Amino acid sequence: MKPVPIRRGTLREPGPDLARLPVAPDLTGISMIEGLRAALAFGSIILLHTWIAWPPLLTMALAANLTCFCDIGGPIRPRLRALLAFAGLGGLFWGAFGVMEGYGPALVLPVALLVIFCCTFARVWGVPAQTVGNVLVVVLCLALDRALTVQQGAIVAAMFWAGGLWAAFLALVVWRLHPYRPAHTAIGGVWRGLSRLARDLRRLSADPHGTDPTVWEAHARGHRRAVRDAIEAARTLVLDLARSRARLSERNARALIRLEAAEQLFGVMIALSDYLERATPAQRAEAARLLRLLPPMLKVLSRAIRRDRPVDLARIERALVRAKPGPDADPALRRMAERILDRVRIGAKLSGPEDLAGGGGLAGAPAPPWREIVSAPLRANLTWSSANLRHAVRATVVALPALAVTVWWPGPFTHWLTITVVLTMQPFYAATWQRALERVGGTVLGGLIGAVLAFYATSPPVLAAMMVPLSVIGFAARGVSYGTFIACLTPLVVVLVELVEPGHSSWEIVGMRALFTVLGGAVAVLAGLLLWPLWEPGRVRDALRSALQTHARYAEAVVAEHLGEATTADAEAAARAAGLASNNLEAALSRALQEPRRRGHSRIEAAMVADATLRRMAGRLAILRHEPEPVGAEAATWRAWRDWLGRALAATAAGERLPPKPEGADSAVFGRIAAQVELLAGTLKRAGIGAREAGRPT
């Protein structure tokens, strides 16, 4: 059978092939504004140095540059805390370690290792803390390049603080990015993902090969995972923005409603996907008009949300009317189409001119107490089973020989070894391997470009002038992919070293950076293999067990919603939990497939079958939510099936025999779900996956 091509995944949108490294660039991540702002923060000081020629200005310029690394966007208050924390600690580290360098390795190494442990463990508090921790490791390594007197250390610390505050002032006061833009971009990305999902549904339903179950499984794994991840990322941004302002503004409320409408639309489109997979050619023909008009409508809404611009409501309404199936269409299709078009209508009306002009505010939920924010992740990760704790210990141990090389072989290049080792290493081996490939490839490519540029630069003023465009390019590519970012940033590093260390040729700089990057990447990969790794087969079992449990609760919530025993919000929350559990399972499977030793390979294959089966079950449950409400004896049958599903999935997770099915086993509504549960139980039983293995070492 002719295979149907599936769009490959990117960093932001995982693809259906779980064994593929997600390294493809995402060109939508280009941000020229961020590049220009970073260039102004860094390049203005470099140009000032060419005029005044005062060496401490280089420290200030580097501090401004590194502070821009720490600014990952979002609400103002969290960004302010992150930038001020980095500026304060960065100046303290550079001045203190520069002074300690004069007292020898016996003092420097233990303190440096403690700092590296804390910086790498900071990822437990989220991406902003992880970013600040990573850049502080860079500051520490740079500080060990040369010893300082107490007076010199004070000057370096003061200039670092000045550079950090200058960059923070530019980012948060002078050249503030639109505070709502990250949320708009994230929510627009959700609607764009829905548009791609709809477009792929149209392709599959029109393709004669679309009936192949593996094609539909690939569609579900790629698109559902991508949209669910986008929804959760957008939810985090919107709620963080609301908490940072201590109130829910009307713009924020509108963003939440758009996100809620998108999530509900996502649930109906899952049901539509399952319906189309089993539909007859006539039923697919009835859905063709809806599938033809839905992707462009969603794309228009996505663009309007991202740009915060109004849409033509009259045009959208005409398209909604045309997309509605005819009165003779299958009732199930009509019900799903009505819900889909209603959610699109909500998103369109929230993007109308009168809605984009609003003001005022609504009361918002307060943020949790700061003590809980700090202590809860700490308590959860202070156990040897925590991947983050193992990562911090591993990074600290491997940093010791790298730091020893830096201390005993001082020079302008050796710090690259420690930086590469620590920043390449990740909590999971698959992520470490991916990061090493991207960093080495980006460094070699960017180094060659930088060497050519520096070779043709004939004077320090020319080198300084080149910093501005190189900084713009480097920071503008930050959101594209890690490898692209490194490739665009390395020319800036080469030119900077050429300016600061004029005694070295550009080709020597490139060669040394490539050497230490390749060596550091190899050390990081070997450390991930040998030092306390957490191999994924065991984590796959845990993720599978969690997915089974959440899908059982989802089934119970769907039936309870139809019987009037639970609210729609309960069913939505259960659907979200099931989707997240499937995403976590696929993330663990992806890492397991990228590990060098495929321990329990047959069990990983069984877990992949289980993942596809759970996706299908979620589709059937989504369809179930749009069935007519049961009455009389039918309601009793639904309750019996609800109880059976809960017991059956619990037995599947435990590796036990399934309970007997209730009366009415030939039910058209529940029969397919029961068949999927039986397939799931048989697959896991043959692979020997069950609760009895929970305590086995991996």
Per residue in 212-224, pLDDT (tens digit) is 777 888 888 788 8
Place of tokens 């900071």: 122
Residue 186: partners with Cβ closer than 8 Å, 6 or more residues away = 230, 233, 234, 237, 238
| Res 95 pLDDT > 90 | yes
Specify the DSSP element, H or E, that contains 361: strand 361-362
389 — pLDDT class (breaks 50, 70, 90): very high
Q: Hey, where are the domains in the chain? A: 29-177, 181-362, 397-533, 536-691
State the pLDDT at residue 136: 95
Please state the rounded mean pLDDT for residues 391-419: 86
State the pLDDT at residue 2: 34
State the pLDDT at residue 22: 56
Per residue in 100-118, pLDDT (tens digit) is 988 888 899 999 999 999 9
| Res 693 pLDDT > 60 | no
Residue type, 587: A
Question: Cα separation of 203 and 219, whole Å?
Answer: 11
| Res 634 pLDDT > 80 | no
Per residue in 448-480, pLDDT (tens digit) is 888 888 777 767 777 777 777 888 887 777 777
State the pLDDT at residue 176: 63
Question: Cα separation of 433 and 425, whole Å?
Answer: 8
- Please provide the CATH number assigned to the domain covering 181-362: 1.20.58
pLDDT above 90 as % of the chain: 16
Cβ count within 10 A of residue 252:
21
Inter-CA distances, 323 with 127, 145, 303, 479, Å: 42, 66, 20, 36
| Range scoring the smallest mean pLDDT among 308-322, 331-345, 657-671 | 657-671
Query: What's the burial of 3, exposed, middle or buried (CB within 10 Å: 0-12/13-18/19+)?
Result: exposed
Question: Cα separation of 461 and 49, whole Å?
Answer: 10
pLDDT above 70 as % of the chain: 83
> What percent helix, strand, coil does the chain show, rounded to 5?
75, 0, 25
> DSSP string of 190-249?
HHHHHHHHHHHHHHHHHSGGGG-HHHHHHHIIIIIHHHHHHHHHHHHHHHHHHHHTTSEE
Please state the rounded mean pLDDT for residues 282-302: 89
Inter-CA distances, 287 with 275, 298, 329, 336, Å: 10, 17, 9, 10
Per residue in 419-431, pLDDT (tens digit) is 999 999 988 888 8
Per residue in 229-272, pLDDT (tens digit) is 888 888 877 776 666 554 555 666 777 788 888 888 898 888 88
Per residue in 561-614, pLDDT (tens digit) is 878 888 888 888 888 888 888 888 888 887 777 776 655 566 777 778 888 888
**Whether the Cβ atoms of residue 337 and residue 324 lie closer than 8 Å to each other:** yes
Rg (CA), the chain: 28
| Res 314 pLDDT > 90 | no
More reliable by pLDDT, 667 or 467: 467
Mean pLDDT of the chain, nearest integer: 80
Question: Cα separation of 430 and 21, whole Å?
Answer: 8
> DSSP string of 259-311?
HHHHHHHHHHHHHHHHHHHH--HHHHHHHHHHHHHHHHHHHHHHHHHHHT---
| Range scoring the smallest mean pLDDT among 44-53, 381-390, 682-691 | 682-691
Query: What's the burial of 90, exposed, middle or buried (CB within 10 Å: 0-12/13-18/19+)?
Result: buried
State the pLDDT at residue 158: 96
Per residue in 132-170, pLDDT (tens digit) is 999 999 999 989 888 889 999 999 999 999 999 999 988
Question: Cα separation of 622 and 267, whole Å?
Answer: 6
Sign of CA dihedral 276, 280, 285, 287: negative
Q: What is the pTM of this model?
A: 0.74
Q: Tokens for 261, please give them.
A: 């409408």
CB contact burial 677-688 (16+ within 10 A = b; e otherwise): bebbbebbbebe
Q: Tokens for 298, please give them.
A: 């969603």
| Res 4 pLDDT > 80 | no
| Res 96 pLDDT > 90 | yes
